[in-house]
Structure 1
Amino acid sequence: MLQLQHLTITHQKDLQTLIRDLNLVVNPGDKLALIGEEGTGKSTLLKALLNPRLIAGYTIMEGTITNRFSRTGYLPQNIAPVDLDRSLSNYLYHDIDYDSFDFNLFYQMAELFQFDTNRFDDHEQLVRNLSGGEKLKLQLLKILASGPDLLLFDEPSSDLDLESLQWLEKFVKRTDKTVIFISHDEELLTNTATAILHLELLKKRQEARASYFHGDYRSYRQQRRERFERQLQLANKEREEHAKKSQKYQRIQQRIEHELRKTKNDVTGRLLAKKMHAHQAQKGRLNKEAEQFTEIPQDMDTIDLFFSDIQALPASKVILKWEARELVSGQKVDWQIRGQDKLVITGQNGIGKTLLLKQVLEELRTRTDLSLGYMPQNDEEILDAHQTALSFLSDVASPEKARTFLASLQFTRQEVGHTVLDLSGGQKAKLFLAKMVLEGNNVLILDEPTRHFSPTSQPLIRQLLKDYPGCIISVSHDRSFIKEIGNTIYQLDQKYLRKIQ
């Protein structure tokens, strides 16, 4: 069992509270998913569960963490750079505890994971050259052979292809170990999580809220929506009733004031003055009533973007036609893309999907009859380290319009002036989408567009792109995105780009 009691975590730099007074119990066998926008403290909480000393350098932690599990295994979001440059053999054996490491289990799990055991003695291949799925399996093998009964995973699905994602999903679902994991992948959450902890920063990222739900992700989303709508209805009803009372109060006050001005009778005047005094006491009660209103809930998932001013291309317009075109990664491509196609390209990690998108981008950039929008997988490919969120949009909108756009995307006044490199991945993705809307692009080239959005925001991003009237050429491993957005699906293998749907 793992128990958190009155846990509060505050960032030392700006004294922002990430987690406030959290009480939580994780029982053996639970599959607890941590979800939320970037920057809400998910990775910090996971490290605190592993060892509070890991976050002592940049946070203030209050409360207690009681971990009664015998051994904890931790899968970080990224392999340390020094480990990426190790050979497979050196990575596996350089720091293991031989007293607790179970070599029999290690080799049994390798067969179960379909990982070639002959590679364990490879002194040539570097860890950095493995695919995302191979890196995941290699780390898991090393962790599991140490006999943990609690597993902490920090975004294990972020760099996986579809095949590796499905493998990870089966592992989490079938293991008898307790798993606490961070993920933005809706399918993974839906198919594995038995409990949800949703971390949010409300009121312009000043108020921390943690919502715990014991149950599956789909039920959590439904409960969250129903709770939001109930609170919103109650808050609106209270304000409507208060407005009616205030209007009635105003009419009565105006009538009394009118009668006071007209009367010349002292007795009548004194009676009217008493009546006014009693009426003003009622006004005080109305003001106190307003202070007790139910708070209007903040819909953190709202993304107020609409492609409403796009001049859509004709559906029959050919914007790209390749016949036996050889890619820089060596594959042959035959395809024809038209003005309102929505294409999704899948394939194993490292197969050349991003290179394919860049080759398409370079060719379409020469076209003067297209308005092209591009969202890269690596933000720094486009973003200037000296730009702010506001200046990034300033070449396509006035400062006032850009500020309005950013506010609708829940950027705070301070974040509008932050350099783009200080923003979270989700905020950068919103910036790219906002620029596409403002520019009125009729062709979008998107490389993993949903990877930085929280799972509760992703349905809104998919709806935005479903309603988009232009052409979309995208790469994605997001199964929900592939199912809902792609009317044509391609798979890139080592030889060809194949149409599979």
Structure 2
Amino acid sequence: MILSVQNVSKSFGTDEILKNVSFHIEDHEKAAVVGINGAGKSTLLKIIVGELTPDTGEVITAKGKSLGYLAQHQDLEGDRTIEEELLSVKSDVIAMEQKIRAMEEQMHHVEGAELEKLLEDYNRMHHQFELEGGYSYRSEVYGVLNGLGFSQEDYQKKISQLSGGQKTRVALGRLLVTKPDIILLDEPTNHLDMNSITWLETFLMNYKGAVVIVSHDRYFLDRVVTKVIEVSLHQAQVYEGNYSEYAVKKEKVREAQLKAYYNQQREIKHQEEVITKLKSFNREKSIKRAESREKLLDKINRLEKPVEEHTDIKITLEPNILSGNDVLSVEGLAKSFGSQKLFENLDFEIKRGEHVALIGNNGTGKTTILKILNGMLKEDAGVIRLGSNVYIGYYDQEHQVLHMEKTLFEEISDAYPELNNTQVRNTLAAFLFTNDDVFKRIGDLSGGERGRVSLAKLMLGKANFLILDEPTNHLDIFSKEILESALNHYTGTVFFVSHDRYFINKTAHRILDLSNGVLTNYLGNYDYYIEKRTEQETLTPSDAETVSKEKAETENKQDWQKQKQEQARRRKIANELQKVEAEIEMCEQKIAEIDEQCQDPAIAVNSAKLNELGSERAVFSEKLEALYEQWEVLSEDS
């Protein structure tokens, strides 16, 4: 065991954050700390590294083991370059290297006993230099910088000139090069693109020390961790496995707890009914039996009903108007900014009901495409066509129209007066605004908080084509799951940009990969995309040369044909469903008419007519039953 947290509690004033939290981390173990925003995850990390003192309990680190900590926000300053900042971690090795070089130079100028002594010192230091990675430290530093997305041109940039996100990446790089025995990371993927996140996953999986991660990136956690520590309702529960395994186990635990609770409640109710019945007999023996049962009932260790934060919150998305089948058609789209060409000759289509993710590295032009589609930027070339009855709902954190003087509650209730107070509060709670938060002014919110309010408004709107730019930024895992559920039940069309691979995996039917100015279509979710990419990357150079442009185009065309076939199948089923629903309505109407005729006094006494109507009704009822079954089968296939 390398780290032990024992009965740690922490409050800020009257706000209890952590209560008797206990868990341990083994050497080399990779663990995640998860929970909703405000649960106390960052507070827990700060207590572990000693930035905060617990009210009760203690944190024990194995003797001689070092801790390294990456906070969410960095305040790095100074005139060092990025390269100098990371190399400063290796100052001892660099000093040793310089001393070795000086010794080598000195050897030319001494002899005899002095030379022998110098050689002895040289060999000893040289051995130490090797042990401390003296021959690999530079490649190690540059490997980390490249992995975190810094180009060689970036190496000489001064820390003081960097953005907040770049400073966080430098701090992360510095920490990884330091190689502490225990790394604690608070949201390490926030400022990384997909390639850098993938690199970091591999680095941490192979890291020889222990790692504790607070992150909302579930795909990242699935790849890296083998233990999940859930902080909920001030306490901690430990689950073995990655995030997906934790989610399944957590649900099973909750189901078992609920089952045990309801079973006990049934037993208590049964015993109370028996006791009441025995007492009602008013016999001495019956009363003694009742008293005996009461004593047993008093001794029962009564289970509390399992509770969870915000389990009742759901968001329902449903467009008011059905769009045409062809939602969006883009041909020959091109855009440059000055001499920087982002893309040209981009072609793609989106059909009704599709959920399409646009992915690619930072700077490839993904957000630019969304802004062009929404009329916020002018394309250099190309044709954009929206289908009939298409109404766009656009989410862009920088351009949502919010009223700075209104409170959050007013912003939602004024925009959607049909919602009652509970519905408004539930909507805001789904996006992490609870209790008195709903009475904050929009103007007093941070950029991320305003983004969440904008997303809440968009989710309540009735648009049938949602265009979303990084919708999961600033959301915790619970809120992401609410959004995923809402989008998965949404019958409209969705086109979104996201770096959240778990979110893409859960919500995308198709992926468009924008790379080197070229758009590649993948008919599946993120796992399918990775599978196809891996197949392509495993080709040897000679194999790669034999894959002609025509073959690549053919594969793309086959994917497109599969998509067309799937859309045709869905349209056919939708048409058949429509016909079956019309027949069901007709049969139900006929049966209702027959029932009404049977109630006519004149027919009620006419047995021949009643038999005729009865036979007719039986025919329609049999047909209706078959139609119901046909509708169920079609619904399963749709």
Shorter-normalised TM range: 0.7 to 0.9
For 1:397, give the aligned amino acid.
Y
Matched, 1:239 2:265: yes
Counterpart of 2:12 in structure 1: which amino acid? H
After TM superposition, give the deviation of residue 63 of structure 1 in Å: 2.1
Q: CA deviation at 1:382?
A: 4.9
1:263 corresponds to: none
1:340–1:469 contact (8 Å) kept in structure 2:
yes
Q: 1:47 to 1:356 in 2, by over 3 A?
A: farther
1:88 maps onto 2:82 in alignment: yes
Q: CA deviation at 1:170?
A: 0.6
Cα distance in 1 for partners of 2:488, 2:289 equals: 56
| Structure 2 Cα separation of the partners of residues 126 and 352 of structure 1 | 27
CA deviations over 1:3-49 (Å, ceiling 9, x no partner): 2222112224xx31221112222221011111111111212222222
- Distance in 2, matches of 1:330 and 1:315, equals 31
2-structure distance, mates of 1:425, 1:42: 22
- Residue in structure 1 matched with residue 26 of structure 2 by the alignment: 27
- Give the distance between the partners of 1:150 and 1:27, measured in 2 at CA: 10
| Root-mean-square deviation over aligned CA pairs | 4.2
1:71 CA drift (Å): 2.4
The answer to whether the Cα contact below 8 Å between 1:448 and 1:476 also exists between their aligned partners in 2 is: yes
Match of 1:266 in 2: none
* Superposition deviation, residue 153 in structure 1: 1.2
Unaligned 5+ runs, structure 1:
202-207, 257-270
Q: Does 1:351 align with 2:364?
A: yes
When normalised by structure 2's length, the TM-score is 0.62
Distance 1:11 1:395, change over 3 A: same
Alignment of 1:96-115 (within 5 A): 98-99=91-92, 104-113=135-144, 115=146
Q: Check conservation: 1:87, 1:123, Cα contact below 8 A.
A: yes
- Counterpart AA for 2:56: E
Structure 2 alignment gaps of length 5 or more: 95-131, 377-383, 524-638
Give the alignment partner of residue 252 of structure 2, picking from 218, 226, 241.
226
Q: Is the 8 A contact 2:464 2:493 kept in 1?
A: yes
Pair 1:177 & 2:209 matched:
yes
Which shifted more, 292-301 or 244-253?
244-253
Q: Summarize the Cα distance change of 1:179–1:421 in structure 2 as closer, same or farther, 3 Å threshold.
A: farther
What is the TM-score with the length of structure 1 in the denominator? 0.76
Residue matched to 2:156: 122
Distance 2:419 2:363 in 1: 42
Shift of 1:399: 8.3
Tell me the distance in 1 between the aligned counterparts of 2:145 and 2:80.
Answer: 22
The correspondence for 2:492, drawn from 460, 470, 487, is 470
Shift in CA distance, 407/249, structure 1 to aligned 2, threshold 3 Å: farther
Q: Partner of 2:250: helix, strand, or coil? A: helix
Partners of 1:454 and 1:6 in 2: how far apart? 26
CA apart distance, 1:183: 1.3
Amino acid at match of 1:483: N
Q: CA deviation at 1:155?
A: 0.9
Q: CA deviation at 1:193?
A: 0.6
Give the whole-Å Cα distance in 1 for the aligned partners of 2:418 and 2:285: 53
Which letter does structure 2 place at the counterpart of 1:179?
A: V
How many Å separate the matches in 1 of 2:151 and 2:419? 60
Q: Is the 8 A contact 2:5 2:21 kept in 1?
A: yes
The percent identity for this pair of structures is 24
Counterpart in the other structure of 1:395 = 414
Residues 147-296 of structure 1 mapped to structure 2, 5 A cutoff? 147-201=179-233, 208-243=234-269, 293-296=302-305
Amino acid of the structure 2 residue aligned with 1:109: E
Distance change >3 Å, CA 55–CA 382, structure 1 → 2: farther
Q: Deviations over 1:179-229 (max 9, x none)?
A: 11111122211121122111123xxxxxx1211224333332222111100
Partner residue of 1:340 out of 347, 350, 353: 353
Map Cα deviations across residues 95-114 of structure 1 (whole Å, 9 max, x no partner).
75834777655313135447
The question of whether the paired residues in 2 share the 8 Å contact of 1:313 and 1:340 is answered with no
Residues 1:317 and 2:326 aligned together: yes
* CA distance in 2 between partners of 1:309 and 1:251 (Å): 53
Matched, 1:66 2:69: no
Write the distance in 2 (CA, Å) between the matches of 1:5 and 1:125.
39
1:361 aligns with 2:374: yes
1:192 to 1:146, Cα distance in 2 relative to 1, 3 A: closer
| 2:396 is the alignment partner of 1:376 | yes
User: How many angstroms apart in 1 are the aligned matches of 2:302 and 2:450?
Assistant: 36
Cα pair distance change 1:294/1:401, threshold 3 Å: same
CA distance in 2, matches of 1:460, 1:46: 27
- CA–CA distance in 2 between the matches of 1:330 and 1:155? 30
1:44 maps to amino acid: T
Distance 1:128 1:286, change over 3 A: farther
| Contact persistence 2:352–2:493 (CA under 8 A) | yes
Q: 1:309 to 1:334 in 2, by over 3 A?
A: closer
Could you say which residue in structure 1 is the equivalent of 2:343? 331
Query: Per the alignment, do residues 369 and 98 of structure 1 end up closer, same or farther by CA in structure 2, a change over 3 Å counting?
Result: same
After superposition, the Cα gap between the structure-2 partners of 1:125 and 1:299, relative to the gap in structure 1 and judged at 3 Å, is: closer
Deviations 1:88-144, CA, capped at 9 Å, x for gaps:
245446x758347776553131354473896586257976369x7x86764444224
Change (3 A) 1:24 1:385: farther
Length, aligned pairs only: 465
Q: What is the Cα deviation at residue 460 of structure 1? A: 4.6
- Residue 277 of structure 1 and its aligned partner are, at CA, apart by 9.8
Tell whether the 8 Å contact from 2:275 to 2:290 is kept in structure 1 after alignment: no
Does the Cα contact within 8 Å between 1:73 and 1:148 map onto a contact in 2? Answer: yes
For the 8 Å contact 2:395–2:454, the answer to whether it is kept is yes
Which string of whole-angstrom CA distances, capped at 9 and with x for unpartnered residues, describes residues 321-358 of structure 1? 35334266743343333433322111112333233323
Following the alignment from structure 2 to structure 1, what is the Cα–Cα distance between the partners of residues 506 and 368? 24
Is residue 47 of structure 1 aligned with residue 54 of structure 2? no
CA separation of 1:121/1:486 partners in 2, compared to 1, >3 Å: closer, same or farther? closer
Q: SS of 1:297's equivalent?
A: coil
- Deviation string for 1:409-461 (max 9, x for gaps)? 46643333344688899987775554334322322222222344444664453
Any idea what SS the aligned residue of 2:304 has? coil
For each residue in 1:251-279, what CA deviation from the matched residue of structure 2 results, as whole angstroms up to 9, or x when unmatched? 899x89xxxxxxxxxxxxxx79x999999
| Contact residue 322 and residue 335 of structure 1 kept, 8 A | yes
CA-to-aligned-CA distance 1:435-491 (integer Å, 9 cap, x gap): 334322322222222344444664453232122111111111222222332223222
